[in-house]
Amino acid sequence: MFHEEALDVGAVDVVDAKVERPSAFDPTAPNGGSLGAVRTLFRVLLAAEVLATLFGGVSAMAMPLEFLPNLTSAAPGAAAPELARLLGGAWIVIALILASVPFLRDVRAMRSILIAIMVGDLLHVAALMPSEDVHPGHFVLSSVFFAYRGAAVWRPGWLIRTEA
């Protein structure tokens, strides 16, 4: 119906009548499409994780004897406060690394960070498993954070803006 040359329709040149609509998950859509809502949810989860990890790390470093009952109801040994401070320092570093994730544009870097943190989650849960007196909140939070990170590794655009 249309010829290769442009058709003159008044003041408008018509070259192609095909109109492309952005997909629901198109980040270039005016409001980010459904992807905008998913990305917002994932960033809220990331912010919650950063705050929880930072709070836990600062608590473990500043008040190790008050922090230890959150991990176990067993009586702390002599080295427990020093180990809690070490754990707290590691958690603060992890929180700072996680806080940098939304600013990444390199999918490989984001995946490497999140996979390493996911391995840490598995090790954290494995270390708590033998204990019968661990608060179930540790497992719930670890599971939620593990799941959203796994989804972000699978679909990086759900957490960071990837280059098209």
| DSSP states along 126-153 | HHHTT-SS--HHHHHHHHHHHHHHHHHH
In a domain, 148, yes or no: yes
Digit-coded pLDDT (tens) for 117-131: 999 888 888 887 777
In a domain, 60, yes or no: yes
DSSP state of 73: S
Residue 35 pLDDT exceeds 90: no
Digit-coded pLDDT (tens) for 82-106: 999 999 999 999 999 999 998 888 8
Residue 26 pLDDT exceeds 80: no
Percent of the chain with pLDDT strictly greater than 70? 79
pLDDT at 2: 47
Q: pTM for the whole thing?
A: 0.72
Of residues 128 and 63, more confidence is placed in 63
> What single letter denotes the amino acid at residue 69?
P
Which residue(s) pair with 13 in the sheet? 8
Residue 21 pLDDT exceeds 50: no
In a domain, 15, yes or no: no
Residue 28 pLDDT exceeds 80: no
pLDDT at 118: 92
In a domain, 33, yes or no: no
Strands 12-14 and 7-9: antiparallel
In a domain, 47, yes or no: yes
Q: Which domain holds residue 133?
A: 39-158
In a domain, 20, yes or no: no
Domain count, the chain: 1
Digit-coded pLDDT (tens) for 2-12: 445 555 555 55
pLDDT at 17: 47
52-66, 88-102, 138-152: the lowest-pLDDT one: 138-152
Report d(CA 107, CA 111) in Å as an integer. 6
In a domain, 131, yes or no: yes
